[in-house]
Amino acid sequence: MDGLDFTELHLETELLWNEISIGDSVMLDADLYESNIFKLRKHHMYEVVAKVQSLAPEPSMLVVESDITGDLIKLHPALLCSYQASGNHNFQSQ
């Protein structure tokens, strides 16, 4: 990886995971597919409905509800392009 090794990337995503709270909104920079099924849209805000904390080397995940399928989707924080704290209208970029 250019500039970041796995440990640094894991640390950065864990810090981002800690910063985002349930009720905050997150946005992806690309559409998300799972098993070739379209699940989440890029540049669409999704509310964080839960957080799943894991121990290394497994990443901690954010959980959102798909507006397409209604499924609960686990998101790795590295997939986010921005987030918005609930009640705050200032976007934070990763």
Residue 75 lies in a domain: yes
Residue 47 lies in a domain: yes
Residue 59 lies in a domain: yes
What is the structure's pLDDT at 3?
A: 53
Residue 50 lies in a domain: yes
Residue 60 lies in a domain: yes
pTM of this structure: 0.81
Residue 90 lies in a domain: no
- pLDDT class for 88, splitting at 50, 70, 90? low
Q: How far apart are CA 87 and CA 70, in angstroms?
A: 24
Count of beta carbons in the 10 Å neighbourhood of residue 65: 16
- Whether 92 has a pLDDT exceeding 70, the answer reads no
Identify whether the C-beta of residue 77 lies closer than 8 Å to the C-beta of residue 59.
yes
Residue 94 lies in a domain: no
Q: Encode pLDDT of 35-72 as tens digits.
A: 999 999 999 999 999 999 987 778 899 999 999 999 99
Structural domain of residue 41, as residue ranges?
A: 6-85
Residue 67 belongs to domain with CATH number: 2.30.30
The total domain count for the chain is 1
